[in-house]
A and B are shown apart, each in its own frame.
Chain A
Amino acid sequence: MNTAAFIFIAVFTLAGALAAACLRKLIHAALCLVVAFLGLAAFYFLLGAEFVGLVQVFVYVGAVAVLIVFTILLTRREDEDAAGFNWSGVIVAVAVFAGLAWTILKTPSLAIIPAAIEPLTIKRIGEVLMTNYVWPLQCVGLLLTAALIGALVLVMEEKR
């Protein structure tokens, strides 16, 4: 795994995420979120999980980001009262990060170097999905159907 690529992708993703969290205008934040998701997909490719990287681009960038952007469009108001920033949230977030980082750095068993593995083929993922994970697959299908119907019911215009 290439160190330069790792550092570049990590900086790219974290910069995009920070911009998504801190920018004033909502639409710019949504587009920086897309950058963060693309950086994450590159991370997955670097870590050898190519299928997950492709699914990440497909689902997050192609669906979730478009949903967020559409919702921004449909709930537009010109007032400024929703554009506030709460500084205590920053303190909590920094504290959480400090705690997690201290825990990670203090655990010596996590300082492992990646072994060279053969890449996980999509065929293997398909086999495992249909044998070991068939029940979770059906449950996720059911859950997605329920989410689809639920979202539609929530936004349908009420019949007067």
Chain B
Amino acid sequence: MTPTLQLCLIVSAALFSIGLLAALSRRHAIFILIGIELMLAAANLNFIAFWRFGAEPQNPTGVMVAIFSIAIAAAEAAVGLALVIAVYRHYRTTNVRRLDQLKG
């Protein structure tokens, strides 16, 4: 059973849903960020898989999008973590349930 594109896509869908699990079911802000990073990584895997199995592998569009996406994910992680630190400094908590002052 050689790996087909379907198998690669199922692995990336599994990774995406694990990231979604982390983002939806944890209360700590950093766990949510971990989930977001996993989801981004799963999307990158999708791009590379489609590039590899596609009709014209010498056209490096999939690879370029993945490279730019990795750079953007790093920037987003930096800003997200800076936000977590700033919120912690102000509210002394990382529990996202407690951050509800704009609610209602």
Q: Which residues of A contact B (CB under 8 A)?
A: 1, 3, 6, 10, 13-14, 17-18, 20-22, 26, 29-30, 33, 36-37, 40, 43-44, 47-49, 51-52, 55-56, 59-60, 63-64, 67-68, 70-72, 74-75, 77, 81-90, 92-94, 96-97, 100-101, 104-105, 107, 110-115, 117-118, 120, 124-125, 128-129, 133, 136, 140, 143-144, 146-148, 150-152, 154-155
Contacts and interface: CB of A to CB of B under 8 A. Distances in A.
Given A14-B15, A143-B72, A3 B2 contact: yes
B93 A64 contact: no
Contacts of A136: 64, 68
19 contacts: A17-B15, A21-B21, A33-B34, A36-B38, A43-B11, A52-B48, A56-B70, A71-B84, A77-B93, A83-B28, A86-B27, A87-B25, A89-B24, A93-B20, A94-B17, A105-B10, A136-B68, A147-B79, A151-B82
Nearest to B11: A10
Contacts of B1: 3
Contact of B10 (A43, A74, A104, A146): A104
Determine chain A's interface SS by DSSP, over half rule: helix
B79 A151 contact: yes
Given A40-B41, A93-B24, A140 B2 contact: no
A104 B22 contact: no
A47 B54 CA distance: 12
